[in-house]
């Protein structure tokens, strides 16, 4: 497909790339004028220092991740047929796992499509091309998805930090069909969620907590629940569907809380819902100060650690979250603490949570550790980069 070669520097072990490690960083390669002038999103052959070929890669000279592995078949052509083949494989796996067509269909490198995220909402699909090659081929990807999934609407969402790091723009688009004017109803764990695929966060709904929400819901019958950083109600609506008597939802976004209310109304559970708009930490302080206690408290915030420089401040934020969460959890109650910070690994996150719980003078047990759902498979060479952690404590 290409004759240009990207060459590893002397001393860089080629074995890990031959075994499948998918990212080649800018300081791994020999950089010269020709290499720096490569077009972002173009394709090249990765070779070791002795010029032995390894694999086919896509490049972005402007990114810290200089190259991403596309295929170990050096003769492969990255075209519509290549893309369709990987889409079909990914779709087959999801259809084996899920009855309803609501799931993450493509999870980037783990599904052999580096940097590409695809979420499915029945006949509507939202794609996030977070790598230059995928952005360049976005229309081909969209039409291939439409054909493979036999769906009506394909939307491009260009929000997110990953695109900025790649040097990509933030312009959204609708490739096929008409973007839905109203949020889409998504059935999951017995609840109904409302996904705003045009104006909501990321693709409109987070599927990754599905299994963790199911576990927490299994504890919720007859309980009073506090869902903090609730977004569109992931944990809380599942708890209501499982028989929770009352759930208070806390979020800074009025739009997200409105979607919680609409979802609860569609479930005919409006009387079980209380919404509180505000800063999550301040709300928990106020609730604790007024003596409010809950049987189950869930804290599922956005990432507090977004770079290596913010690791320590982010861990302090998780510690504070744990302390405040414990302050509103009744005796023999359940505290659920979550992190989607990739750079805060499980041990660091768990230790921060334990410090926060201890500072509140509470003791307890860790009864469940959860990760991302089955539609978010992990690349075998990126297991240490797992981002989602969910810890369930009995206090």
Taking a C-beta distance cutoff of 8 angstroms, is the pair 305, 315 a contact? yes
How far is 222 from 10, CA to CA, in rounded Å? Answer: 63
Please give the pLDDT value at position 198: 86
Taking a C-beta distance cutoff of 8 angstroms, is the pair 251, 277 a contact? yes
CATH 2.30.130.10 residue ranges for the chain: 5-71
CATH 3.40.50.150 residue ranges for the chain: 190-394
Look up residue 79 and give its two tokens: 């075209």
Please give the pLDDT value at position 162: 86
Look up residue 2 and give its two tokens: 């290409």
Residue with tokens 């009995």: 394
The CATH homologous superfamily for domain 5-71 is: PUA domain (2.30.130.10)
How far is 218 from 257, CA to CA, in rounded Å? Answer: 23
Instruction: Indicate the CATH number of 80-176 among 3.40.50.1000, 2.40.50.140, 3.30.750.80, 1.10.10.10.
Output: 3.30.750.80
How far is 394 from 184, CA to CA, in rounded Å? Answer: 35
Residue with tokens 């972002």: 40
pTM over cut 0.85:
yes
pLDDT in tens, 40-83: 999 999 999 999 999 999 999 999 999 999 999 999 999 999 99
Task: Give phi and psi for 84, each to the nearest 5.
Answer: -60, -40
Architecture, CATH, for domain 190-394: 3-Layer(aba) Sandwich (3.40)
CATH 3.30.750.80 residue ranges for the chain: 80-176
Please give the pLDDT value at position 307: 86
| 193 exposure class (CB count in 10 Å sphere: 0-12, 13-18, 19+) | buried
Please give the pLDDT value at position 290: 96
Distances from the Cα of 42 to the Cα of 2, 39, 90, 140, 207, angstroms: 9, 6, 24, 15, 31
Task: Give phi and psi for 267, each to the nearest 5.
Answer: -85, -5
Please give the pLDDT value at position 1: 55
How far is 38 from 143, CA to CA, in rounded Å? Answer: 27
| b/e per residue 179-189 (b: at least 16 CB within 10 A) | ebeebbebebb
Please give the pLDDT value at position 68: 97
Q: Which residues of the chain have pLDDT under 50?
A: none
How far is 141 from 266, CA to CA, in rounded Å? Answer: 34
């Amino acid at each position: 497909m290409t004759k240009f070669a990207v060459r590893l520097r002397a001393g860089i072990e080629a074995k890990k790339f031959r075994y499948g490690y998918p990212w080649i960083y800018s300081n791994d390669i020999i950089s010269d004028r020709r290499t720096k002038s490569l077009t972002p999103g173009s394709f090249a052959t990765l070779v070791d220092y002795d010029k032995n070929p390894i694999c086919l890669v896509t490049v972005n000279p402007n990114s810290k991740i200089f190259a991403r592995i596309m295929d170990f078949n050096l003769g492969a052509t990255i075209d519509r047929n290549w893309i369709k083949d990987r889409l079909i494989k990914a779709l087959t796996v999801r259809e084996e796992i899920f009855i309803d067509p609501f799931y993450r269909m493509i999870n980037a490198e783990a599904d052999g499509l580096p940097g590409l995220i695809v979420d499915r909402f029945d006949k509507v699909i939202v794609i996030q091309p977070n790598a230059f090659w995928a952005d360049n081929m976005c229309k081909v990807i969209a039409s291939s998805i439409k054909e493979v999934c036999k769906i009506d609407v394909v939307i491009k969402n260009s929000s997110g930090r990953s695109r900025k790091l790649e040097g990509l723009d933030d312009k959204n688009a609708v490739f096929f069909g008409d973007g839905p004017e109203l949020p889409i109803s998504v059935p999951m764990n017995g609840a109904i969620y409302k996904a705003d695929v045009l104006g909501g966060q990321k693709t409109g709904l987070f599927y990754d907590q599905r299994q963790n929400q199911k576990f927490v819901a299994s504890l919720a019958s007859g309980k009073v629940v506090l869902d903090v950083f609730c977004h569109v109600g992931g944990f809380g609506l599942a708890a209501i569907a499982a028989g929770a008597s009352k759930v208070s939802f806390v979020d800074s976004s009025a739009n997200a809380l409105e979607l919680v209310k609409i979802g609860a109304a569609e479930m005919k559970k409006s009387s079980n819902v209380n919404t509180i708009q505000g800063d999550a930490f301040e709300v928990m302080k106020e609730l604790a100060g007024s003596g409010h206690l809950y049987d189950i408290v869930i804290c599922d915030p956005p990432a507090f650690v977004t770079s290596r420089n913010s690791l320590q401040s982010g861990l302090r934020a998780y510690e504070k979250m744990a302390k405040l969460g414990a302050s509103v959890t009744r005796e023999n109650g359940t505290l659920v603490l979550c992190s989607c910070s990739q750079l805060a690994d499980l041990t660091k996150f768990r230790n921060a949570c334990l410090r926060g719980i201890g500072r509140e003078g509470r003791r307890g047990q860790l009864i469940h550790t959860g990760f991302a759902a089955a539609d978010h498979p992990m690349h075998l060479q990126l297991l240490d980069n797992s981002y989602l952690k969910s810890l369930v404590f009995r206090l």
